[in-house]
Amino acid sequence: MAKDKDGTVVFSLSGKWVSWAHTVVAYSAFLGALVVGMKLHFRKIVQNEHYGYPDEWFPSVSATIGDRYPERSVFQLLIAVTSGPRFALVLLWYLLTARPNSFLPKFLLFTGLSRTFLCGGWVYITSTDDHQWHDIFMISYLVFTLPWTLGCLALSPMNAQAIKYRKILASAFFGTLVPLIYFFIQHKVHKVPGAYTIYAFFEWSLILFDVGFDAVTALDYAGLEFRVVDVKGVSKGQSGILADSVAEKAKNDKNLKQLVSGKFTWSDLLDSAADIYTGFMFWTVLTSLGVTVWYFPLWHMGISGYEALVMTSIAPYILGIGPLRRFLANHLRLTYLLSLTGLVAFYFPKPTHRLFVTGGGVWFSCLALATAFFAERNNPARLDARISGFSLGLIASSVAKFACYSNNPVWPIMNVENGGWNKTGLVLGILAVLRSTRKATHAQDLSDAKVKKGSSFPISLGLAGMFFGLHSLLSDSSTMITWVWDGYPITGPLAAPHGAYTLLAMGLGFLIGSFRESLGRNWAVYGLGCTGAAILHNNHGWFGYYGALILATYMMSIMPVFIRTAIQYGPATTFGNAFLIYNLLVLAHVWTVAYAFVPGGPLLRERTDLVMTVTMLLIGAGVYSANTFANGGKGKAPASAVISPFQRRVKSYFVYLLTALEMFAIAVAYMRFPTFDYKPYNKEHKVVTAGIWTVHFGIDNNMWSSERRMRDLFKEMEVDIVGLLESDLQRIIMGNRDITQFLAEDLGMYADFGPGPNKHTWGAALLSKFPIVNSTHHLLPSPVGELAPAILATLDVYDELVDVLVFHSGQEEDVEDRRLQSEGIAKLMSNSPRPLILLSYLVTKPLQGNYNTYVSEQSRMKDIDPSDWDRWCEYILYRGIKRVGYARVSRSTITDTELQVGKFVIGGDKESSNTIIPEEQVPEGLRFPAMFNGEGVRGHRYHVFNQPRYFA
């Protein structure tokens, strides 16, 4: 087709009018609906689930454009008219910025068109029509806004005024998200009057900034013109020629250049994705080892011997054997394929077999990691790809856990029944290895002749500190959030949605390490990282979390410079020593809480501060070594200082994939945003069903993740409030997990978790269908044995305040600890002025010893069933409310302890009799589910009494 044809210009229109038409009609749609709604339905559209006028006096966007006629029709009609200019605006931007072999303009064309269709989705499918699809379209639109905005900034023509306005509007848009989320939480969680009105103003601001950002194109499109040309003389007019292209001007920022210039190929993008998935597999296998090892000392109640498998990560030591090192370096595909044994482990039903297969996977994974880095040290582009894949593999692993409620879906404790994607993960792993290793590594000289002389020990220390910091704090996005969690009212971040903040900070650290690598060896930046660690360790709430974000960014930023320094030395001692010291840190990190069960435990009792300090000092040794290498020799800069065009293009692919990962994380955060509109099971009878269960760290008797099985039992038993003990899994040895995330979100319950993992307990948690008004976390006296955690929470139960106390006592051997703890709990209960339910693990016989401190005149508490003599651990006590039922439900193979449940009635007569009555005399709404009578279901049945007990 000819580019130019002579003819008569029938009609011409400046491109700027496309922008003006889009802007005017879009603003008219929103503002027209606002004016009509305020005029006709003011009080209805300012009303929300908590407050109405005069507390709330300005409507949100969704309330304005929602379901009421005629404002909804006004909005939809004008949005339909907006679509024409919108498609033209997107097409003109592509024509303005496109150039041969450039990928970003094509990607922005796809993004712009997708945003347009997604906008139609949430406009014409309201939340009333289909809430799920409305949310899917809305969050997808918001997610696509990020690459659209950044891409337009990157490709802006050299128009200073337009660039200035774009930066202002983009900054305003993204800056508005912070107060928007804050006031939404104030409204949704804290139920603050007027907060939703303030939220609405920020929401409307987003609309103004979003449309305004695209309105800036009027300044760029003024040089473009639409023309209708009569090339066959069928009309009359003046002749003209349609311009085919617009000249482009490059930007000065070389880092921006490398992201938008150069030839794009899907093959190279797949190579980068394969490298990331290879890194994902490494972190998946490494993080799975702890949780599989943990199963055995858990059942042995002490050292089992299987703990020796934590040392499988020191495999790089065998690279000291020259022929073996050269063989592995030249056969990386084989080494990586052997590392996949860690993903095959789920096929083995027996726990010991699964553990040893996982250990083998860790052995080969660490071997492949060290070998690949060392083998590629003379190939800068491939080395960059390996480092970037390793770094983004960690982010991918954390994103996967964020999406799956803190479980990695391809761990060996997962299967198809509990949410696992093991087979899919394994197939993708094989494809990734075949792809990433299809180009043979040219290990020209893998002897020690060309490795740097001198001690590699400082960088080994740095690597150890880095590996441990990444694993213990960043392998799950919620770990540091649990460190700063301090109960209700909420004063800090939530695992969802704020886990996405951690992932964004990690992404920022990756970008810093990739494009400003020298900052990784800067002592001032190291000091900033240490400051972040100190803030995290010593503070709660948002301030503590700000320290966590600083530390996350720093940890990710040092990965390239540390690895690049390490490979200048022999891989055997450098990586072997690093993993050995890393293992010692892992053990020390566990010793801080498991001191009562391990040799030398008291030396590290409650010394997380010491572990954190040592970690940062080790990283400091790595910074020293990196500086020594960078400044060594004859002042020669490291090879990485010169970046080739191919390296730049490789980096750009990883930035694209990082953007995709972060977009997915944001989408997950939106979909997991808590609704806080939970309802009890038997509201009409004002019944509260409360239970206590020791859940054995979320691992069942066959070493499978047990959250879904627990969920099923809680739902079928209609449990409104439950205390979970042995529930703190935020350590390496337990997989850095949080079982409360899945249970709370799936069951629709408020969750309180505490004290946090930096308080050195085995954990206590509270799940409640009723709003938690206030909660405090307590550590009971434990001069000898393990620390005893407690949560004291005040709940709004059918408009009456009721206290619930969840408590785990110390071990049987520590008699004095348990006596002091009983006195402490009795004091907490006596100080409460409200009705109270104790959900506890007491370690005492009924009517004997410390039992008489818990059930006493001081505490004013009553036993749920004084005649039940067959108890030792779990107890339910109460006061100030009427108890109507009590049941003991067998555990099946979920844990080693039964579920105990009590039924209480709020309001009316608060006196309870110990007289047991038959079920026939109990109103049906107050009865326990009949499905657990007799043999029950799935191994759960009413046992001990073989049926529930009811009281007059």
Catalytic residues: 808
Pairing of strands 800-808, 836-841: parallel
What's the CA gap between 457 and 574, in Å, rounded? 7
Q: Report phi then psi at 857, rounded to 5.
A: -65, -35
Candidates 147, 199, 153; CA nearest to 176 is: 199
Beta bridge partners of 145: none
DSSP 7-20: -EEEEEEETHHHHH
Residue written as token pair 């400046």: 14
> Distance between CA 485 and CA 545 in Å, rounded?
9
Closest C-alpha to 938, from 717, 724, 770, 790: 717
Residue 731: CB atoms within 10 Å: 23
- Comparing CA positions, the residue from 649, 84, 38, 709 lying closest to residue 381 is 649
Question: φ and ψ at 903, to 5 degrees?
Answer: -110, 135
Going by C-beta distance under 8 Å and a sequence separation of 6 or more, which residues neighbour residue 660?
none
- φ, ψ at 261 (rounded to 5°): -110, 170
Q: Which amino acid is at 102?
A: S
Of 390, 383, 275, nearest to 647 by C-alpha is 383
**How many Cα atoms within 13 Å fall on the side-chain side of residue 262?**
20
Q: Which residues contact 226 (CB under 8 A, 6 or more apart)?
A: 11, 12, 13, 14, 15, 18
Contacts of 233 (CB under 8 A, 6+ apart): 7, 8
For residues 364 and 342, give the distance between their C-alpha atoms in angstroms, rounded to a whole number: 9
Tokens coding 403? 């999406």
Burial 836-872 (b: 16+ CB within 10 A, else e): bbbbbbbbbebeebbbebbbeeebebbbbbeebeebe
Residue 877: phi, psi to the nearest 5? Answer: -120, 160
Q: Please say whether the beta carbons of 571 and 316 come within 8 A.
A: yes
Beta strands 916-917 and 949-951: pairing type?
A: antiparallel
Phi, psi for 879 (deg, rounded to 5):
-165, 155
